[in-house]
Amino acid sequence: MMSNSLTSTNAPKISPQTNASTDEQFVEVWLAGRPPTTARVYRTAAKQFLNFVEKPIKAIVLEDLQYWCASLTDIYNTATIRNKVNFIKSMLSFAVRVGYVQLNIGAAVKPQKPWQQLSQRIVDKDEIVKLIAAGKTKRDRLIMECLYILGLRISELHQLNWEDFRVRPDGSAIATIKGKGAKTRFVNVPRPLYNKLLALKADKPWVFANYRAERLSTRSINRVIKASAAKAGVNPKISAHWLRHAHASHSLDAGCDLPLLQQSLGHSSLAVTQVYLHINPEKSSSQFLSV
């Protein structure tokens, strides 16, 4: 009889490479070294999964993972489900790699590929102008300007410190951005924008602060955008990441080349950046042909 690779007793034993004795300890080992925002999202997904299956990781079988995936369809959209499933697959792969479990049941589960919705998240330039103008304070307007003009992720704006800027002879600046996966990149800050930022400067290391002079949280940054969107009458779903999408799309429309955009956004590969070439439903090669 052919043995099942997922249950075979002949599978080689892997010597544990972790001292974790509980799932809680193991999850923290898995998350070690990840950026705080990423770790928080992954930890939430892991907790949700383990609460659903109601058994330790070492006792989980393929059906547990399949039932959990099915349960998500009534709650989340396809893109969110795909992310959550990939988080758990990553956790289970790591569990095998360090010898916490012997078999990777996550390898048998393939998350559904989401329908491409990026084109729906591109905001017109006029709407960007309205959104920024609707900012309640100079700080709020600058938050949105930086997200759009510099193409930053919300976590990158949150972490921005004054020491990250290097002033150039023409009055503009180069900002050192601490990106995803601890990757560093350099972004040009135009002189008009840098001068506006300097007008905010206070005796604190961080660029954006709350009314208590503490570093502004990502949650507060999101509130600023939502409040401005409501006042401006633009799409209420707009977020910090939509401003980053708009930066990419509008830069390409203005003639920016793909490698430069990839470098500016901190994308891991050109393939990620190339997605922005396909998001304008009003443009296609057919407009250049006639008979």
Which residue ranges form the domains of the chain, and what is each CATH number? 23-108 (1.10.150), 119-282 (1.10.443.10)
pTM above 0.75, yes or no: no
Amino acid at 96: V
b (16+ CB within 10 A) / e for 111-146: beeeeeeeeebbbeeebbebbbebbeeebbbbbbbb
Sign of the CA dihedral running 178, 37, 73, 237: negative
192 contacts: CB under 8 Å, gap ≥ 6: none
Residues annotated catalytic, as ranges: 153, 180, 241, 244, 267, 276
What confidence tier does 119 reach under pLDDT thresholds 50, 70, 90?
Answer: low
Q: Is the pLDDT of residue 10 over 90?
A: no
pLDDT at residue 72, as a whole number: 84
- Residue 2: the pLDDT is 38
pLDDT band at 285 (very low <50, low <70, confident <90, very high): very low
Q: Is the pLDDT of residue 219 over 60?
A: yes
Q: Which of 35-44, 159-168, 262-271, 278-287 has the highest mean pLDDT?
A: 159-168
Using CA atoms, how far apart are residues 67 and 52, in angstroms rounded to an integer? 9
Least confident of 124-128, 144-148, 188-192, 283-287: 283-287
Tokens of 211: 């009314």
- At residue 193, the pLDDT reads 94
Predicted local confidence at residue 234, as pLDDT: 92
| Predicted confidence band of residue 6 (pLDDT cuts 50, 70, 90) | very low
| Range with the poorest average pLDDT among 146-160, 180-194, 263-277 | 263-277
- Examine the pLDDT at 20 and tell me if it is beyond 60: yes
Q: From the CB of residue 86, how many other CB atoms can be counted at a distance below 10 Å?
A: 14
Residue 202 clears pLDDT 60, i.e. is over it: yes
Question: Would you state the pLDDT for residue 3?
Answer: 40
Q: What is the dihedral of CA 135, 152, 177, 275, to 10 degrees?
A: -170
The lowest-confidence range among 125-134, 135-144, 182-191 is: 182-191
For residues 183-197, average pLDDT: 92
Q: Per residue in 37-67, pLDDT tens?
A: 889 999 999 999 999 999 999 999 999 998 8
Mean pLDDT of 224-251: 91
The per-residue pLDDT for range 158-169, each reduced to its tens digit, is 999 999 999 999
AA identity, residue 136: K
Is residue 277 over pLDDT 80?
A: no
The average confidence (pLDDT) of the chain is 85
